[in-house]
């Protein structure tokens, strides 16, 4: 209906790898009778096609007769069970894939300058927070990256962490950013796994800001997991810290491998999308930070030149090419 279409248009999503496999994700919505019939017809016609090429002249009749035989076998209880199981597996795989990649649903008639501010990132550490921060700063916007007040160049007693000022604002019944320094962009609002407002106070953040543009960032899950494992010292790397944190959807001890992290992040993405759909005054932007066209996507959405988009805060333990480049040309990457 028109109301649903209008709400859908309020959700802005990006990423060139976000095309859906239409039909597969809704496969189990159709009666399995028709599913089996279609499979049998397809198989029989393929078989008859080969036979006819070897001298059978009455191809349509052959196809029909053999189809009847194959359809009857396809409608057996064992075939029914097999097709139902296959359809279920296909839907589960597709659903999981959809929540681990950005979706496309472009907003019409909403130019970049009218996107509501602030822009708040609801993604996770090591998922492009520094890249988002430097992109908007390059474009002339004020951006906060995990420090929302005080001296951002060094940690002092006056340092105001975004996570703490958000939590304090919510605790006092104020809008979530009330005790944080004002900015156009909040590229990282957490303090790492131990303090994730975008998880633990997600509803309060979304509902407490009248109009905002929220981010969800994506990357290859194996790459993200490896980045977490290699960030920090071996005894207390970020992956280990996530395991210890006891987060909503990620209880203590869970997060041992990429599958557990993927399942958890999938749940976070689904939760964000559901809450944003219920709050149509907001905009949701989803971006794959590893997409080669991400810079162009950001330029299309925000009007800031794609040359401002790049990889910041790169983990040199993984990206050895960055270390080599520094040694050769002295670039600050």
Q: What is the pTM (predicted TM-score) of this model?
A: 0.67
In this prediction, residue 234 carries a pLDDT of 78
Quickly state the pLDDT bin for 38 (edges 50, 70, 90).
very low
> Does 95 have pLDDT greater than 90?
no
Helix (H, G, I), strand (E, B) or coil at 163: helix
Pairing outcome for strands 143-145 and 147-149: unpaired
Of 291, 310, 290, the C-alpha closest to 137 is: 310
pLDDT-wise least confident of 9-23, 92-106, 200-214: 9-23
Which distant-in-sequence residues (6+ apart) come within 8 Å of 197 by Cβ?
Answer: 162, 163, 166, 167, 176, 189, 190, 205
> Does 297 have pLDDT greater than 60?
yes
In this prediction, residue 210 carries a pLDDT of 86
Tell me the C-alpha distance between 82 and 224, whole Å: 35
For the segment 302-328, the average pLDDT, to the nearest whole number, is 60
pLDDT tens track for 183-200: 999 999 999 999 999 999
Tell me the C-alpha distance between 276 and 120, whole Å: 13
pLDDT-wise least confident of 40-54, 164-178, 265-279: 40-54
Q: Residue 144 is inside which H or E element, if any? A: strand 143-145
Quickly state the pLDDT bin for 22 (edges 50, 70, 90).
very low
Q: Report CA Rg, the chain.
A: 25
Residue 28's region, left for phi above 0, alpha for psi from -120 to 50, else beta, is: alpha
Q: Name the average pLDDT for the chain.
A: 74
């Amino acid at each position: 209906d028109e109301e649903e279409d209008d709400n859908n248009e309020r959700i802005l999503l990006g990423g060139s790898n976000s095309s859906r496999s239409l039909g597969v994700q809704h496969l189990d919505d159709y009666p399995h009778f028709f599913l089996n019939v279609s499979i049998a017809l397809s198989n029989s016609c393929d078989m008859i096609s080969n036979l006819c090429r070897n001298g059978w002249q009455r191809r349509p009749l052959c196809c029909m007769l053999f189809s009847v035989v194959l359809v009857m076998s396809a409608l057996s209880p064992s075939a029914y069970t097999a097709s139902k199981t296959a359809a279920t597996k296909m839907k589960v795989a597709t659903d999981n894939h959809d929540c681990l990649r950005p979706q496309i649903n472009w907003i019409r008639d909403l130019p970049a300058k009218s996107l509501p501010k602030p822009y708040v990132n609801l993604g996770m550490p090591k998922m492009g927070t520094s890249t988002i921060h430097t992109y908007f700063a390059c474009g002339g916007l004020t951006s906060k990256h995990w420090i929302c007040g005080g001296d951002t160049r060094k940690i002092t007693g006056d340092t105001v962490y975004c996570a703490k000022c958000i939590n304090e604002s919510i605790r006092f019944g104020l809008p979530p950013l009330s005790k944080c320094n004002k900015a156009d962009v909040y590229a990282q609002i957490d303090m790492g796994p131990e303090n994730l407002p975008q998880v633990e106070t997600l509803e309060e953040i979304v509902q407490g800001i009248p109009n905002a543009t929220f981010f969800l960032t994506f990357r290859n899950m194996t790459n993200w997991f490896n980045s977490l494992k290699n960030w920090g010292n071996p005894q207390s790397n970020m992956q280990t810290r996530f395991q210890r944190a006891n987060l909503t959807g990620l209880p203590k001890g869970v997060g041992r491998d990429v599958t557990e992290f993927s399942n958890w992040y999938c749940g976070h993405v689904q939760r964000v999308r559901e809450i944003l759909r219920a709050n149509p005054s907001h905009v949701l932007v989803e971006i794959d930070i590893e997409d080669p066209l991400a810079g162009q996507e950001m330029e299309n959405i925000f009007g800031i030149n794609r040359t401002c988009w790049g990889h910041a805060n790169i983990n040199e333990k993984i990206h050895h090419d960055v270390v080599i480049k520094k040694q050769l040309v002295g670039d600050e990457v």
